[in-house]
Structure 1
Amino acid sequence: MASNSNLTAARNARNDEFYTRLEDVEAELLPCAGDFRGRRVLCPCDGPESAFVRFCLGHWDRLGITHLTASQYNPMGPLFGFGRRWEWDGPDDRPEPVELDDEGSVLGVEARRLMDRADIVVTNPPFSILSSIIPRLEEWGGLFSVMGPLPQAKAVSIAPYFLSGRLWLGRRNGSMAFATPDATTPKESCDVMIDGVRHRRFGNIVWYTNLPSTLPREPFRPAAPAPEAPEFLDGAHILECGQVADVPADWDGPVAVPLTFLTRWTPADPGWRLVDMPGQPTVGGRALFARAVIERR
């Protein structure tokens, strides 16, 4: 009989499992085909049916990848089996699953071993552990593009990589719908039916990446007039702007902007740099949503 901890893990895994649509993967990653050429790809949260695996197999020649590995977590492991992996040397391969030596968590020993055999990681990981996954990918040192909620960019384990210029966001960010397993607890306010399949819609879903082809971006050029009654963050002479569009064109000091600024900025921006992502900014004692602090180069 399964232990309570195993059953709880399985239930939590189902409620944190959202299947990405192929069209969303193609929209973000096809323009990055040059980053895949000659490289080995790992999809560490995926089985053969996942959109990421189907993307790689369906565009194998265009991407120019040399090898594909997918691995899948077993939330009932290790008591009831382990995770599994599949490997392809070409798009026409039909690999049988091979059992891993652990349950297959993206944070586990086996996943790290598979990373060491890969050059690039692409996946939609469980959002609840994204703050642990990004440091794992950065420590590994390869290329990656993984999905997650924008608010997690301010996590203490993620923000330093933005500030150091090692991490930025991809091009296709915003509201996205994900297919959900039948066992997922329904949420009427977020669930929609698409082609007869229940999907859950999330706002502010972004691609956390270090793919070089996503760096070139239209430079950020603020155009707003200077505020008549400027507000500043408590304890600092940092101009508060409630919207990115409110950044004054002629302001030379640091500016606090919503995290959505990250969707239109990369470290390659010639005019602006990211200098801070304060934990809980306030203005006049009033708590604000998360902010990024930027200033001119």
Structure 2
Amino acid sequence: MTEKAQNINLNKAKSNKKDEFYTQLSDIERELKHYKKHFRGKVVYCNCDDPRVSNFFHYFSYNFEKLGLKKLITTCYKSQDMDLFSTNNAERAIYLEYEGDKNGNMLPDASDIGIKQLNGDGDFRSEESIELLKQADIVVTNPPFSLFREYIAQLIDHDKKFIIVGHQNAIKYKEIFPLIRDNKLWLGFGFKGGAAHFINKHYEDYATAADRKEGMIRVSGVHWFTNIDLKKRHEDLILYKNYNPEEYQKYENFDAINVNKTKDIPIDYDGFMGVPITFMDKYNPEQFEIIGVGIANSGLEIGIQPYKPEHKYYRKEVQKRGAVNGDLYMMINGVVTVPYTRIIIKSKKL
């Protein structure tokens, strides 16, 4: 699915009341197995997460003793249907507290779980939810994609560790990118094949036949975001290509070379390089320095020059495309060429 198609589908989902998205248990298990040592003795909070249907609640409650948790808290918006966009159509919000097995069968029975009603709507921004957040050591959930900026800001403001689902487009948000650049936020291990299948029975799936799953929707570019240190974050990206000026085009408006694929980053280039956003999945802060992102105002802030008048005219009037100052562009055979979003990096080992 193209990036444009993904965005259209996600925008449709925001306005469609029947779009319920549930993270698969297998995806949760595949990611969280890398963090097990971090959960011991901790309070885990799953907000934006209806415990009546949540696979996050299932995972943590059934693995409570194995992980050595201290407490599990889950809350949900007053919609009974958990989705990516917090639709609002149920009467009361609830929260659950689980502190482990009490009757010896090592299962989360109803008698073990404290079910309590909230006075408000359960929105993660409400005072009640914030008070629960203050108890937490680690937050794990699939928050509303449309509120991702606010959600991350709240976690950072309250100095919480987290493992959450988000779309890779969030990397370039002006509120999110500085956190990534400053090593306060990074990507986890990710979803298999770089896409997630969310459980969904109402939404039209545009996946190819080979990748279609009944009752699910495939969303490309979905990832796990975290601020918990991982071994993969300290593994060098293995590179094998050498710099060749004929292969690596320079930008017209910034002193950097364009690299179309992460695997093609030249091993011997000591200047600035523009790499795809997917580079972040391989980013090692000991190997590379992140300078900025080459789009709009974020690009201008790091010294990317505005379009030359003749190039802006060509882009808008001949190509009939947008020409935003701060976006990187190249001149290839006299044609204005704008790559997809590029992260500007520099090697730390040269």
TM-score range, shorter-chain basis?
A: 0.7 to 0.9
Aligned with residue 343 of structure 2, among 260, 284, 292: 292
**Cα offset for 1:129?**
1.7
Identity %: 26
d(CA) in 2 for partners of 1:214, 1:286: 37
Q: Does 2:239 align with 1:239?
A: no
* Letter matched to residue 75 of structure 2: S
1:35 to 15, 35, 38: 38
Computing the radius of gyration from Cα coordinates, the structure with the larger value is: 2
The answer (yes or no) to whether the contact 1:66–1:89 under 8 Å persists in 2 is: yes
What is the TM-score of this pair, normalised by structure 2? 0.74
CA deviations 1:130-156 (Å, max 9, x no partner) are 122112211111110001111111101
Report the CA distance between 1:31 and its aligned residue: 2.0
Residue 274 of structure 2 aligns to a residue whose secondary structure is strand
Query: How many angstroms apart in 2 are the aligned matches of 1:138 and 1:28?
Result: 21
Residue 38 of structure 2 aligns to a residue in which SS?
helix
Is 1:226–1:251's contact at 8 Å kept on the other side of the alignment?
yes
Amino acid at match of 1:278: G
Q: Which residue of 1 aligns with 2:117?
A: 99
Specify the alignment match of 1:278 in structure 2: 294
- Match of residue 51, structure 1, among 44, 51, 55: 55
Indicate how the Cα distance of structure 1 residues 188 and 255 shifts in structure 2: closer, same or farther if over 3 A, else same: closer
What does residue 202 of structure 1 align with?
219
> Is the alpha carbon distance of 1:84 and 1:141 closer, same or farther for their aligned partners in structure 2, counting shifts above 3 Å?
same
Q: Secondary structure at the match of 1:151?
A: helix
Distance 1:116 1:177 in 2: 32
Q: Which one-letter code corresponds to 1:126 in the other structure?
A: P
Whole-angstrom CA distance in 2 between matches of 1:100 and 1:29:
29
Listed one character per residue, the Cα deviations across residues 69-102 of structure 1 (whole Å, up to 9, x for unaligned) are: 0111124998963321111011435235322232
| Deviation beyond 3 Å, 4+ runs, structure 1 | 9-14, 75-80, 187-194, 213-217
Q: Secondary structure at the match of 2:343?
A: strand
CA contact (8 A) 1:34 1:213 kept: no
Q: What is the TM-score normalised by the length of structure 1?
A: 0.86
Does the 8 A contact of 1:151 with 1:290 survive in 2?
A: no
Alignment of structure 1 residues 6-155 onto 2, 5 Å? 12=16, 14-15=18-19, 17-48=20-51, 49-75=53-79, 81-91=91-101, 92-94=108-110, 95=113, 97-155=115-173
- Report if aligned partners of 1:225, 1:249 keep a CA contact under 8 Å in 2: yes
Q: Describe the shift of the 1:71–1:278 C-alpha distance in structure 2 as closer, same or farther (beyond 3 A).
A: same
Structure 1 SS opposite 2:169: helix
Judging changes above 3 Å, is the alpha-carbon distance between structure 1 residues 217 and 271 closer, same or farther for their aligned structure 2 residues? closer
What is aligned with 2:313?
A: none
Taking structure 1 as reference, are residues 281 and 132 closer, same or farther at Cα in structure 2, changes over 3 Å only?
farther
Displacement of 1:278 in angstroms is 2.4
Higher strand content, 1 or 2: 1
Could you list the runs of 5+ residues in structure 1 that have no partner in the other structure? 1-8
Q: Any idea what the Cα deviations from partners look like across 1:41-84, whole Å, max 9, x if unmatched?
A: 00002122311111111221221110000111124998963321
In structure 2, distance between residues paired with 1:152 and 1:10: 16
Corresponding residue pairs, total: 282
With over 3 angstroms needed to count, the CA separation of the structure-2 counterparts of 1:222 and 1:188, relative to structure 1, is closer
For the structure 1 residues 78 and 25, does the alpha-carbon distance in structure 2 shift closer, same or farther, using more than 3 Å as the test? closer
Structure 2: segments with no counterpart, 5+ residues: 1-12, 81-86, 102-107, 296-326
Q: Does the Cα contact within 8 Å between 1:69 and 1:88 map onto a contact in 2? A: yes
- CA distance, structure 2, for counterparts of residue 286 and residue 224 of structure 1: 24
